[in-house]
């Protein structure tokens, strides 16, 4: 198995500025995301790496508390951000309260409506929605050459990636109904010889949200702008889950760029005096590498060895980046 240099992939596709690593939990997505962001920053690009995982670990890998602090400079050209979903939910709640006060001329929110707002904030979907909204903000605002998404594990990633299409369909339906109602109101106003209706604030809000989501989802599904890499290890369940996930991801038009194998035990150990446990692991690895090769073929872009220690701190991240991208 001779993997292609990841640096070559990036050189061949300079327009792919939105980079995502996906896969099961614990396979090395955050490590690869950090190493890729480091490599791109060292190449002179302005890079933002951010996490949409509520259990984010960018703080741990960069050894710097960045949670909820917005884009934080890690080193020249490299910025990292961990999204504080709870803070975003609180902002949501206040936005809803303010819109109700503005629309109905209230000085305070009635108790029963406040109870509903509080209950809705406790729903898991609200947290997912808050994270998604923050990601849309990051993508739409711009300001960086590259965006590296440290995605949540597979199941949540699918939910997250599907939210764009779900939101779009839902808002499209609501907007259509709202437009129909406005047309009826306008006809009624003409018949009654009333002046033209005031601007429809709710319709404008829906159209604004729809435009933001469309812009974000268009980027995430654009093969020229976005690269999605699956991280796999030579293990049966990982391979099976990755195959299922790749099929599901294709339904959401996520542009799959290839697979990166992680945590390879060095083969040269076979010729040394090693415990049976390690020899068995090597035999299993050899078997599943053949399965990976026959299953994914030339879509395999890199094979990364198991490190002897955790990848945390810039020196280890740089070391991983040089394994993935070669000298730079």
The 3 state secondary structure assigned to 111-148 is HHHHHHHHHHHCCHHHHHHHHHHHHHHHHHHCCCCEEE
Per-residue confidence (pLDDT) for residue 2, from 0 to 100: 46
Across 94-103, 116-125, 254-263, least confident range: 116-125
Per-residue confidence (pLDDT) for residue 48, from 0 to 100: 97
Is 7 buried (19+), middle (13-18) or exposed (0-12) by CB count in 10 A?
Answer: middle
According to DSSP, the β-strands at 300-305 and 256-264 are parallel
Q: Quick check: 291 pLDDT over 90?
A: yes
Q: Quick check: 159 pLDDT over 70?
A: no
Mean local confidence (pLDDT), 89-100: 82
Q: If DSSP codes are grouped into helix, strand and coil, which group holds residue 62?
A: helix
Tokens 């509903």 belong to which residue? Answer: 116
Query: Helix, strand, coil: what percent of the chain each, to 5?
Result: 60, 15, 30
Backbone φ and ψ of 178, nearest 5°? -65, -40
Across 29-38, 161-170, 265-274, least confident range: 161-170
Two structure tokens written together for 216:
């974000």
Rounded CA gap, 234 and 276, in Å?
18
Rounded CA gap, 294 and 265, in Å?
20
Per-residue confidence at 110, pLDDT binned at 50, 70, 90? Answer: confident
Q: If DSSP codes are grouped into helix, strand and coil, which group holds residue 75?
A: strand
Asked if residues 131 and 54 have their Cβ atoms less than 8 Å apart, the reply is yes
Per-residue confidence (pLDDT) for residue 72, from 0 to 100: 96
Q: Model's pTM, two decimal places?
A: 0.81
Across 182-186, 211-215, 227-231, least confident range: 182-186
Across 13-17, 55-59, 61-65, least confident range: 55-59
Tokens 């909204």 belong to which residue? Answer: 133
Q: Quick check: 204 pLDDT over 80?
A: no
Q: Quick check: 157 pLDDT over 70?
A: no
- The residues pairing with 89 across neighbouring beta strands, listed in sequence order, are none
Question: Rounded to the nearest 5 degrees, what angle is found at the Cα of 314, between the Cα atoms of 235 and 278?
Answer: 30
Rounded CA gap, 76 and 165, in Å?
36
Between the ranges 60-64, 154-158, 267-271, where is the mean pLDDT highest?
60-64
Nearest to 292 by CA among 199, 215, 206, 230: 230
Q: If DSSP codes are grouped into helix, strand and coil, which group holds residue 110?
A: coil
Per-residue confidence (pLDDT) for residue 154, from 0 to 100: 59
Per-residue confidence (pLDDT) for residue 63, from 0 to 100: 95
Two structure tokens written together for 217:
């989802």
Rounded CA gap, 155 and 200, in Å?
38
Is 271 buried (19+), middle (13-18) or exposed (0-12) by CB count in 10 A?
Answer: exposed
Two structure tokens written together for 257:
């760029």
């Amino acid at each position: 198995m001779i993997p292609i240099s990841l640096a070559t992939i990036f050189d061949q596709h300079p327009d792919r500025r939105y980079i995502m690593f996906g896969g099961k939990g614990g396979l090395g997505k955050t490590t690869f995301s950090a190493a890729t962001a480091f490599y791109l920053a060292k190449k002179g690009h302005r890079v933002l790496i951010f996490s949409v995982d509520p259990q984010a670990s960018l703080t741990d890998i960069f050894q710097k508390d960045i949670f909820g602090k917005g884009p934080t400079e890690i080193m020249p050209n490299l910025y990292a951000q961990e999204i504080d979903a709870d803070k975003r939910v609180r902002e949501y709640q206040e936005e809803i309260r303010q819109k109700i006060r503005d629309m109905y001329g209230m000085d305070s929110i009635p108790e029963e409506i406040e109870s509903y707002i509080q209950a809705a904030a406790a729903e898991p979907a609200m947290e997912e929605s808050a994270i998604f909204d923050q990601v849309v903000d990051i993508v739409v605002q711009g300001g960086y050459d590259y965006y590296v998404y440290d995605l949540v594990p597979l199941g949540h990633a699918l939910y997250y990636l599907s939210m764009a299409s779900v939101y779009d369909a839902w808002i499209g339906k609501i907007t259509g109904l709202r437009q129909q109602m406005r047309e009826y109101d306008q006809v009624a106003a003409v018949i009654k010889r009333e002046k033209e209706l005031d601007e429809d604030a709710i319709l404008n809000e829906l159209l604004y949200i729809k435009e933001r989501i469309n812009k974000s989802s268009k980027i995430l599904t654009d093969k020229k702008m976005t690269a999605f890499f699956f991280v796999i290890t030579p293990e049966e369940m990982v391979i099976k889950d990755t195959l299922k996930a790749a099929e599901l991801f294709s339904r959401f038009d996520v542009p799959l760029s290839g697979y990166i194998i992680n945590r390879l035990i060095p083969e040269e150990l076979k010729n040394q005096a090693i415990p049976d446990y390690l020899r068995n692991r090597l035999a299993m690895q050899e078997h599943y590498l053949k399965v990976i090769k026959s299953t994914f073929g030339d879509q395999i872009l890199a094979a990364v060895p198991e490190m002897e220690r955790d990848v945390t701190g810039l020196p280890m991240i740089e070391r991983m980046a040089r394994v993935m991208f070669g000298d730079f």
